[in-house]
Amino acid sequence: MLKWRVGDVNITQVVELTTASLGSYLLPQATPEEMDRLPWIKPFVDERRRLVLSIHALVVESGGETLVVDTCIGNGKQRTYPAWNLMQRGFLDDFAAAGFALDRVDKVMCTHMHVDHVGWNTRLVDGRWVPTFENADYLFAEQEWSHWCVEEQEYGPVIEDSVQPIFDAGKAVLVAQDHRVTDEIWFDPTPGHTPGHVSVHIASRGEEAVITGDMIHHPCQIAHPQWSSVADTDPNQSAATRSEFVQRYADRPVLVIGTHFAAPTAGRIVRDGEAHRLDY
């Protein structure tokens, strides 16, 4: 369980699972041979130089509020990906062990509505999917919702079991892609992976951090921002967004926290010859 402090803001990682089984599918460009050309990438690949991805939530404490960024896959949900189908893991126990009570969460921020980012929005109670964080407002970018409420889903009834129940419970709040959540936290539009995708920007006492969402899946994309994931709805826009992000934050003291980066999960973007790397 990793923790970071950005000014007065505390950020805590709660991991649901870590896997090397998805990387070659998501980023087929990232072959073992390509990874051998990036000596700094070692913490983020396994012994076979396959990409290691983490699926985790980030709990952000800001101005007396407790906020959760992305809610992983969830338990007991019908999914077409076999490893996630009707999955049962101890995420809620780990969430409590990190010192957080479900009913003390004030806001849930979803960077987008993919299966591994909205799963613990809900849990099954007496045969019904109900909000896991019962006292929280759930913030969704309006453009993201406009896309997924009509788009066909690949991994099963994700909207039906993990998003629509939030609307039914009156806990959903549709916001702009540049919505300010608190004085210290706001959304940054980072489209391409999905049309309404956002990253989460944190600034406090002169320090800054960005939680990427799936604008970047793996640190190797910092060196190769042109590598778009097969899961990107608009690969060209995704690459342009990522390239602009890398250029904007290179050699600046801004902590980049990867939503799918395995430990050490966060670092700063620095120039590396004619490319860039994550300095952790």
Q: How far apart are CA 278 and CA 122, in angstroms?
A: 34
pLDDT recorded at residue 152:
83
Q: Which of 76, 162, 79, 176 is nearest to 113 (CA)?
A: 162
Residue pLDDT, tens place only, 5-45: 999 999 999 999 999 999 999 999 999 999 999 999 999 99
Is 0.85 surpassed by the pTM of this model? yes
The closest alpha carbon to 55, from 102, 89, 16, belongs to 16
How confident is the model at residue 153, as a pLDDT?
87
Strands of 185-189's sheet, edge to edge? Answer: 180-182, 185-189, 198-204, 207-211, 254-257, 266-272, 275-279
Q: Where are the alpha helices (DSSP H) in 122-170?
A: 142-148, 158-162, 164-168
Q: What is the pLDDT of residue 238?
A: 98
Number of domains the chain contains? 1
pLDDT tens figures, 72-81: 999 999 999 9
Contact 161, 197 (CB under 8 A): no
**Under 8 Å between Cβ of 120 and 161:** no
State which residues form the domain around 71: 3-279
Q: Look up the CATH number of the domain holding residue 270.
A: 3.60.15.10
Task: Enumerate residue ranges in the chain where pLDDT < 50.
Answer: none
Encoded tokens for 229: 């994931």
Predicted confidence at residue 1, as pLDDT, reads 87
